[in-house]
Structure 1
Amino acid sequence: MLETMTLHSVGIDKLQHFSFYAIIAFLLAVIVCLIPPFVNGFSRICAVAFSLMFIGILEEYRQLLVPERTTEWQDAVANMLGVSIGVFLPLLIHLQWRGTKQLQRSFLPLGAVTLFVLAPLLYGLTVVSEPLPTITVRNDAFPVHNAYPEDIQTDSEQALTPETIIKKYRLQLEELKQYANQNIEQLAEEAINEWKAKQIPLTALYTKYMKRANELEKQINTEFQQIYETAKTDLQQHGFASEYANPLKQEYEDTKEEQKAEMMQKVAGEWFEQ
């Protein structure tokens, strides 16, 4: 199942690269086609296509300098395919308007530039890029030191996967969720009781407890960030991509939204009963 999830995430990543460059290429190609003189539209579209392909390849080289990013030649290919599809329709429309006269002379320099510039850059990426994420099974047990060592290493040798590493951090995330729920419920209860007692005006009450809620959220965010960064470091230390920790962040954001909605519903229900 984890392998299926990995292949799915890889496919989504390539689709995102393809879609982004296709949309940008289409918009730019349409814009340059509408700039007079219209006779220069073909050369402008080719310039847009070449520039975006060049940028798409250089972007993958740039990721060599970013510790938490991976360089994959497949991403560059997805970028180039996106550019090709993006400029196809504007180019087709332009050719219908202009006709094919004297276009053969334009294809020769364009093909030469593409061959001598983009091809070596793309080949270089195949040399320096990292392989696609794969699920590896390791027979050797790693000396993992954490709050839940039993989740990763047992008396017998156990296969280590990103899922087993993330599992212990999900337990820590659950503890953080329980801690946040307790504090949120206590804060809401205090606000409701003070409102019922009519001790201070509503605006002052809102300001007071909103400030405390923001302080609590900041504290919880700090605690989560520590868990998240530790999880990414743990994954990298065992040879896995840090992106495997991204579901933790999504789960945390979803939980935050649910907690906010529940608190607002509870407080609003009490106030409307008054």
Structure 2
Amino acid sequence: MSEVGSRAALPASLVLVGAGKMGGALLEGWLADGLPGAHAAVIDPNPAPAMVALCERHGVALNPAEPGEPEALVLAVKPQGLDAAAAAVAALAGPGTLVVSVLAGKTIANLKDRLPRARAVVRAMPNLPASIRRGATGAAASLETSEAQRRTAHALLSGVGLVEWLDSEDLIDAVTAVSGSGPAYVFLLAEALAAAGVAAGLPAEVADRLARQTVAGAGELLGQSAEEPGTLRQNVTSPGGTTAAALGVLMAGDGLAPLMRDAVAAAKARAEELAG
């Protein structure tokens, strides 16, 4: 979706419930994409000082007494806080309201049970880089969600990065295992690479800086390049060279690929256990 198209699809009125790290990142993204502050309201019993300042700076209503029934209601509280939050805002979610949830593990059915008047519900799973607008989000919509409401949800979620729409909500657990938990896998790679550098004789602080920049730089290159990851890998691998020697270990039958499959499968299984 183009920047202009995204801005055009933003809702005329919006209530954000929960203004922690993810909620705050979303709000900053919407404001940057052109949502007028006067069109938004935030409900959070304990907003951080930075959130209070952001709302004041942009004219966003913070904990208004009567926010009214918005075009879009975005739930960004912690999963364990859903019951309390839903009880407080259920009256805001009318039949014409688009509900967007970024709560891990809470299904569309869970949300409808707690917001009985809601019809259009989008369940989304963003990840940590959303905090710097480089997130990856998987999303699934209830059958009652119209195409216009999907465009609105896309505009809201794309404020913090890439959005991939799923044909079935059942795929959300796989998204959780790949991109939801994925940043931790990358951070572990940086840790392991630095530790290997120390084992190879580098000072710890040098190994740490080199590993961090290598992972960050390779990630930026991957994001900017049109080439497939496999092609990029081949481009830096000279036959018989040092990279080829290392990849011979990582790409062995018991190397990185089967470990990653097992890791993603374990995360998916745990996500299925926690859903509800």
Q: TM-score, normalised by structure 2?
A: 0.23
Structure 1 or 2: more strand by fraction: 2
Structure 1 or 2: more helix by fraction: 1
Larger Rg: 1
Q: TM-score, normalised by structure 1?
A: 0.23
